[in-house]
Amino acid sequence: MSNDGWLGDAAQLYAAGHDLKDPQLSPVYGDYAGFPPSILTTGTRDLFLSNTVRVHRKMRAAGVEAELVVFEGQSHAQYAADPWAPETKEHFEELARFFDKHLAR
């Protein structure tokens, strides 16, 4: 048994006939001019780590104030999955700090 091609097949299924480069499907292809301050969170074992970094760089190139938070050893959204994990606490602390800063609390 092999998983070869499963990600591509899953992407095609998710896209439901739409172009995979549609920014509504993949933020990597978005236009970030005029975008509000943003925080992007990922993990070193996240399948989408590289794409998150690409979006962050694209935002910065468009003049957007963007923060990138990367959790060591975490997969996609794993840093928010276990309410008792230290990474979850840190994740929500980062979000609270970001919102306090940008919503003028």
Domain ranges in the chain are 1-27, 31-102
Q: Which two tokens stand for residue 32?
A: 């970030």
Count CB neighbours of 43 within 10 A.
21
| Residue % of the chain over a pLDDT of 70 | 95
Classify residue 95 by its DSSP letter: H
Beta strands in 14-98 (DSSP E): 38-43, 66-71
Q: What is the structure's pLDDT at 63?
A: 98
pLDDT of 71 > 70? The answer is yes
pTM reported for the whole predicted model: 0.86
